[in-house]
Amino acid sequence: MTASPIRTERHDDILVIISDNPPVNALGAAVRQGIEAAIKDGVADASVAAMVIRCDGRTFFAGADITEFTKPPVSPLLPELVDMIEASTKPVVAAIHGTALGGGCEVTLGCHYRIAVPSAKIGTPEVKLGLLPGAGGTQRLPRVAGVRVALELTAKGDPIPAKKAHEAGLIDRIAGEDSLVADALAFANEIKDIRPIPRASEKTVTADPEAVAAFRKENARRFRGFEAPAANIACIEKAASGATFADGIAFERQQFMRLMMGVQSAAQRHIFFAERQASKIDDVPADTALRPIRRVGVIGAGTMGGGIAMNFLTAGIPVTIVEMQAEALERGTGTIRKNYEATAAKGRMKPEQVDAAMAALTPTLTFDDLAECDLIIEAVYEEMSVKKDIFTRLDAIAKPGAILASNTSYLDIDEIAAVTSRPQDVVGMHFFSPANVMKLLEVVRGAKTAGDVLATVMDVAKKIRKVAVVAGVTYGFIGNRMLMPRQVEATKLLLEGATPEQIDRVHVGFGMPMGPFQMADLAGVDIGWHRDPSRIENIRDALAAENRWGQKTKAGFYDYDEKRTPSNSARVAEIIDQFRAKEGVTPREIGDDEIVARTLYTMVNEGALILEEGKAQRASDIDVVWIYGYGWPVYRGGPMFWAQTEGLKKVVAGLEQYGFPVARSLKEAAATGGQIK
């Protein structure tokens, strides 16, 4: 029989219930059963006056065990356990360190008193999995901490620090950082005889419709398209409506089950697991010895290079950044400092952290200064000849075992590696712009990239807080390769009769932050333009030739006012008409379904081809790329997951209707009712 993760200790008349369930004391069945048994023993034992629940290891209960979500339920369920703790005839104190999240927060709400160390955080992040705290959290939180704090915690899902929780009444006492056990025992002794025992379910909550209305308005953009925030808000409103606790719990249960059985939560849980799976490399053992990365070199101090450098500096890894011109170097390092100071001004960094980050940066005009770096990332112009020249120079000066990486968006890593005498040390590290903000990192594995190089880069990605996905060598890797058919079809649709506004509206309605033409205007219509105004081969050439470069010139596919607010452009409509006339195209009515099929189904098809060619390890990796790199709505789970929910037969039929050759694996999965693999 497996030993229980729960043990108890007696300290005079205080029973301490301790969970030791590494790594995060998840509230799995064995933990719940152990707590239930210990609480029952404490209640039955006349010599016990009060109880303390605490955890060993690095954290208090950090949430439910979400691997149980798809398995048969095991008693006691979390709502039953929380109710049982609250019903105890002897006071129970929660002693919190680390994080009390989700079910962990709900356990503390079932306890009668809460004490926490200053560094602790408490919260209910279930909304990030498309859910709500379903063990009474939506009903107890407003009763303990008020409507506004309950809304913040449940509908946004971000935890709050102990100090803020204490101010809200969610925590009763702040312990010493290193004396939680002693302070919790002292607290238990202090409250053991106080009657009546304070129970969250028995408290009243004051209705605050103005706070609810203001909260909805403030967060309208953040919540757009998501079902779970609205359900969380509705539950808080129910608690504040004067309904009984029992009625509130029944409403919470109904809302929880609706979300749990819905597509959005399935999609968000899929991404939760997909993100963790993406860090695993199929044919590289997990125990592969990693190369030490003590100093990083960055070639290029422009927007990309500066952003890349910031990732490492923020993580405490020294950076040597090299530029050709003193002015460019000075401008680049100045931008890095300015970015850090802006972060500090928002209270997200302390001035001394800014100084420490800048002190770890070594700007230089001397290429040979990269010789001491363990990882060198080239972040220069996307031109193969330039990159080959740099890697030839790097090969001559980099120390043995140094990892040589290219931040390329499209180019062939094998071709770059071939100019060196050490192709096994060469890898792609495709950061997304702005590199210090965007979470995705495509790690491109060349034909000769060594396993320990790949494993080291994936490990480094975690240290700089990136979500890394392994991609094979193919033009555009995973994300940009799938973006290409979308852009091609969007442009064709313009010629055939759609407008930029219509195509963008369909994409935004789908949940994208912006459509293809809004994105082009933001990034710059002139990106990749050949710079010859007399050479006009397509619509983008025509726009670029007229200085319609997007938002930066107040004109692109749209016209822009002083506040960069877009409006439809008569001149763009004219240019499109000219191209139609030139190519003999008669415009026609184009429906939204055709736009979806031609711009989104084609991406799914490209994803299937990428998998067939072995350029992505798994379909879920593709989903991670699109969620973290391109703003695909997380509640749709990424393009490959979405295709399954859309129905693969429907996707295949849509592709065939518009004459696209369908990937073999996509056809097979549609025919057999299987998964795209």
Span 103-137, pLDDT tens digits? 999 999 999 999 999 999 999 999 999 999 999 99
Q: In 152-227, which residue ranges form alpha helices assigned H by DSSP?
A: 162-168, 180-191, 209-218, 220-223
- The region that residue 169 occupies, defined by phi over 0 for left and psi between -120 and 50 for alpha, beta otherwise, is left
Number of residues in the chain: 677
pLDDT tens sequence across 604-635 = 999 999 999 999 999 999 999 999 999 999 99
Model confidence band, residue 586 (pLDDT cutoffs 50, 70, 90): very high
According to the model, what pLDDT value does residue 470 have?
98
b/e per residue, 561-574, with b = 16+ CB within 10 A? eeeeebeebeebee
pLDDT tens sequence across 140-151 = 999 999 999 999
CA dihedral sign, ordered 474, 476, 477, 481: negative
Q: How far apart are CA 54 and CA 179, in angstroms?
A: 13
Q: Within 13 Å of residue 441, how many CA atoms lie on the same side as its CB?
A: 30
According to the model, what pLDDT value does residue 528 have?
83
Q: How far apart are CA 376 and CA 372, in angstroms?
A: 10
Q: Is pLDDT at 69 greater than 80 in this prediction?
A: no
Q: Global pTM? A: 0.94
Model confidence band, residue 329 (pLDDT cutoffs 50, 70, 90): very high
Q: How far apart are CA 181 and CA 96, in angstroms?
A: 10
Catalytic residue among 112, 166, 430, 507: 430
Coil, helix or strand at residue 6: strand
Model confidence band, residue 33 (pLDDT cutoffs 50, 70, 90): very high
Among 478, 66, 472, which Cα is nearest to 260's?
66
Contacts with 195 (C-beta within 8 Å, 6 or more apart), sequence order: none
According to the model, what pLDDT value does residue 364 have?
98
Cis peptide bond N-terminal to 76, omega within 30: yes
Among 164, 132, 336, which Cα is nearest to 251's?
132
Model confidence band, residue 66 (pLDDT cutoffs 50, 70, 90): confident
According to the model, what pLDDT value does residue 1 have?
57
pLDDT tens sequence across 370-413 = 999 999 999 998 899 999 999 999 999 999 999 999 999 999 99
Q: In this structure, which long-range contacts are made by residues 368-371, counting pairs with CB atoms below 8 Å and at least 24 apart in sequence? A: 368/397, 369/297, 369/320, 369/322, 370/297, 370/299, 370/320, 370/322, 370/394, 370/397, 370/398, 371/397, 371/398, 371/399
Average pLDDT over residues 421-448: 97
Among 166, 152, 146, 153, which Cα is nearest to 208's?
146
According to the model, what pLDDT value does residue 508 have?
97
Place of tokens 């290429």: 367
Q: Distances in Å between the alpha carbon of 447 and those of 241, 253, 416, 473?
A: 63, 52, 11, 8
Among 652, 647, 641, 654, which Cα is nearest to 598's?
654
Average pLDDT over residues 562-586: 96
Model confidence band, residue 418 (pLDDT cutoffs 50, 70, 90): very high
Average pLDDT along the chain: 96
Model confidence band, residue 2 (pLDDT cutoffs 50, 70, 90): confident
Q: Within 13 Å of residue 37, how many CA atoms lie on the same side as its CB?
A: 14
User: Other C-beta atoms within 10 Å of 210: how many?
Assistant: 9
Q: How far apart are CA 407 and CA 430, in angstroms?
A: 5
Average pLDDT over residues 9-21: 98
349 burial class (0-12, 13-18, 19+ CB within 10 angstroms)? middle
Place of tokens 């491109």: 444
User: Other C-beta atoms within 10 Å of 533: how many?
Assistant: 13
- Whether the CB-CB separation of 310 and 288 falls below 8 Å is answered with no
Average pLDDT over residues 23-51: 97
Q: Distances in Å between the alpha carbon of 213 and those of 146, 210, 218, 234?
A: 15, 5, 9, 12
Whole-number CA gyration radius for the chain: 28
What are the two backbone dihedrals, phi and then psi, of residue 364, each rounded to the nearest 5 degrees?
-150, 155
Q: How far apart are CA 41 and CA 47, in angstroms?
A: 11
Q: Is pLDDT at 415 greater than 60 in this prediction?
A: yes
Catalytic, 166? Answer no
